[in-house]
Amino acid sequence: MKRRVTEVLKKHLGEDFVLEKPKDLSFGHYATPIAFSLAKVLRKSPMIIADELAKKFENEEIFEKVEPVRGYLNFKLSDNFLNEYATFVLENPDKFASDNNDEKILLEYVSANPTGPLHIGHARGAVIGDSLCRIGRRLGYKITTEYYINDAGNQIYLLGLSIFLAGRENILKESVSWPDEFYRGDYIVDLAFKAAKEFGEDIFKDEKNIEKLSLFGKDEMMELIKSNLKEVLIEFDSFVSEKSLYEKWDEVFEKLKSNDAVYEKDGKIWLKSTKYGDEKDRVIVREDKRPTYLAGDIIYHNDKFQRGYDRYINIWGADHHGYIARVKAAVKFLGYDENKLEIILSQMVSLLKGGEPFKMSKRAGNFILMSDVVKEIGAEALRFMFLSKKSDTHLEFDVNLLKKEDSSNPIYYIQYAHARINQVFEKSKKSIEDISKVELENLDEDSKNLLFTSFLLPEILEDAFKTRSLQKVTDYLKSLAALLHKFYNEHRVIGSKNEDKYLKVFAVTALSIKIGLDLIGIEAKKRM
């Protein structure tokens, strides 16, 4: 819809104009302040320029009215245009809010260490990544999703050590001296019992078996993580092992050396990351010749860029903010365009229940498990709330709110709007096919506003994707649902002289709600 309007405006105004939507739709569906920017050039009042420009649109059938108001040009869409678009949308639902973008994107998200179950911090990034992918694919972007498994380094050794000591303590019944660093929680004890069943209790008698327990624990945790993600309808196209990439370290290191990216000092190898904006140079090889955590990321990003995508998006926890400059510096040193790498930060979540902090999981070692929250409120409510604010802002919500069956619960309110429309169609005993060809003539303003707002879904999705602001989708769905409920309460539909017209408008509204919910991983309900 907006694209068609833009094409018509370009024909008469040229390329350089801004298209806005008035807050009050009684002024028009779209507006442009172009007369103000032309005033200096033409040395005329914006009001005179707007009057002159309005006359250019007199024969454009897509507009019912083009009106100059205090220097603005306001455009009201015609019933005929709205009707034709409504018919097209209902007969081609797969083409509505879809597009053809050729950009190839590698989207990496979650990538939590495989040392424990997913907690709510991981969950927010997971929901953002999956929803961004769904919306992007609807808009035609070629998106591949990836999970980077941090399975090299000290954290995996600590996992094996923790299982080993838990086995000695809980299975062999020995007194154990725990180190300062280890993984806590009942899940570690569960892993020890699973290992005993798999390998026999003797595995806990020799420290040489810690490496075997590390691999066993990592594989078990990855299966649990995949299961946690599946609970909230998230699956990945590929999983990449950090450990397997270390085979390429010598090759990548030589590449860095040849590009004058490194130097030796104090027995360590340093990346010259300050050259490209980092606050200090970073160690990539320790004194004992072991590569650092950053080295693993450098290998991984070299591997990514070798695969030839147009854009690389990483979703990281907000605590990784300081990591952006050093990784981008490494990408540039490797000879790639660091501007193709985009980092989205996901802030932490504060979860309440009845105004009190949500109980942490003893099983997980004193953090809130994603699976516990899913059990409490369901995957759909969890997804909706995690998208209700921009990812880089702190999120706090009370799970009890999401159990209410009234307008205070946004997901209930939106689902009820969709179910309400379905119920109206059932009462009418008519189908979408029955009303798709109905002519929408002489529509009242309320019908026009509901229909126009329903048609805004494509531009909402495009804006949300391009700005990485997925809360714009949830905000839109809330406002569309509110408009539907208001219309329903103020207008009789079944049995009225406008029944078929209203049904056609309702059908478009339901489609927008259904598509919008689907793209954030929620199935629209037909009954409540």
Question: pLDDT band at residue 223, thresholds of 50, 70 and 90?
Answer: very high
Question: If you average pLDDT over residues 86-114, what whole number do you get?
Answer: 95
Look at residue 337 and tell me if it is in a domain: no
Look at residue 9 and tell me if it is in a domain: yes
Look at residue 447 and tell me if it is in a domain: yes
Considering only CA atoms, which of 217, 212, 39 is closest in space to residue 116? 217
Look at residue 497 and tell me if it is in a domain: yes
Least confident among 55-69, 210-224, 474-488: 55-69
pLDDT score of 367: 83
Q: Beta strand 63-69 with 104-108: parallel, antiparallel or unpaired?
A: unpaired
Question: pLDDT band at residue 362, thresholds of 50, 70 and 90?
Answer: low
pLDDT score of 235: 97
Look at residue 332 and tell me if it is in a domain: no
Query: Tens digits of per-residue pLDDT, 297-311?
Result: 999 999 999 999 999
Domain boundary among 35, 53, 77: 77
Look at residue 341 and tell me if it is in a domain: no
Query: Tens digits of per-residue pLDDT, 41-57?
Result: 889 999 999 999 999 99
* CA diameter of the chain: 91
Instruction: Please name the residues in contact with 44: beta carbons below 8 A apart, sequence gap of 6 or more.
Output: 38
Considering only CA atoms, which of 393, 338, 305 is closest in space to residue 124? 393
What gap in Å lies between CA 167 and CA 176, rounded to an integer? 10
Query: What are the percentages of helix, strand and coil residues in the chain, rounded to 5?
Result: 55, 15, 30
pLDDT score of 15: 78
- For residue 364 the two structure tokens come to 């997980």
What gap in Å lies between CA 387 and CA 471, rounded to an integer? 5
What gap in Å lies between CA 363 and CA 380, rounded to an integer? 24
Query: Tens digits of per-residue pLDDT, 155-173?
Result: 999 999 999 999 999 999 9
Look at residue 129 and tell me if it is in a domain: no
Look at residue 401 and tell me if it is in a domain: no
132 or 14, higher pLDDT: 132
Question: With contact defined as beta carbons under 8 Å apart, do 74 and 33 qualify?
Answer: no
Considering only CA atoms, which of 351, 382, 355 is closest in space to residue 474? 382
Percent of the chain at pLDDT > 90 equals 89
pLDDT tops 70 at residue 19: yes
The values of phi and psi at residue 488, to 5°, are: -60, -40
How confident is the prediction for the chain on average, in pLDDT? Answer: 94
- For residue 431 the two structure tokens come to 């189908």
User: Do 158 and 72 have their domain in common?
Assistant: no
Question: pLDDT band at residue 518, thresholds of 50, 70 and 90?
Answer: very high
- For residue 524 the two structure tokens come to 């629209």
Query: Tens digits of per-residue pLDDT, 405-456?
Result: 888 999 999 999 999 999 999 999 999 999 999 999 999 999 999 999 999 9
Counted domains in the chain: 3
The values of phi and psi at residue 119, to 5°, are: -105, 180
Question: With contact defined as beta carbons under 8 Å apart, do 403 and 153 qualify?
Answer: no
Least confident among 22-26, 81-85, 202-206, 328-332: 22-26
What gap in Å lies between CA 85 and CA 94, rounded to an integer? 14
Domain boundary among 181, 196, 231: 231
Q: Which domain holds residue 462?
A: 410-518
Give, in degrees to the nearest 5, the angle at Cα 158 between 157 and 160: 65
> Strands (DSSP E) along 187-337, which ranges?
238-241, 262-265, 268-271, 282-285, 311-317
The values of phi and psi at residue 389, to 5°, are: -135, 155
Domain boundary among 231, 249, 279: 231
What gap in Å lies between CA 158 and CA 392, rounded to an integer? 31
pLDDT tops 90 at residue 24: no
User: What would the 3-class secondary structure string for 48-115 be?
Assistant: HHHHHHHHHHCCCCCEEEEEEECCEEEEEECHHHHHHHHHHHHHCCCCCCCCCCCCEEEEECCCCCCC
Could you tell me the CATH number of the domain that includes residue 414? 1.10.730.10
pLDDT tops 70 at residue 364: no
Exposed e or buried b per residue across 178-210, where buried means at least 16 C-beta atoms within 10 angstroms of its C-beta = eeeebbebebbbbbbeebbeeeeeebbeeeebb
What gap in Å lies between CA 189 and CA 169, rounded to an integer? 9
Query: Tens digits of per-residue pLDDT, 475-512?
Result: 999 999 999 999 999 999 999 999 999 999 999 999 99
Considering only CA atoms, which of 403, 336, 451, 375 is closest in space to residue 89? 451
Q: How far is CA 76 from CA 54, 60, 223, 311, 452, in A?
A: 12, 11, 55, 38, 10
User: Do 417 and 511 have their domain in common?
Assistant: yes
pLDDT tops 80 at residue 203: yes
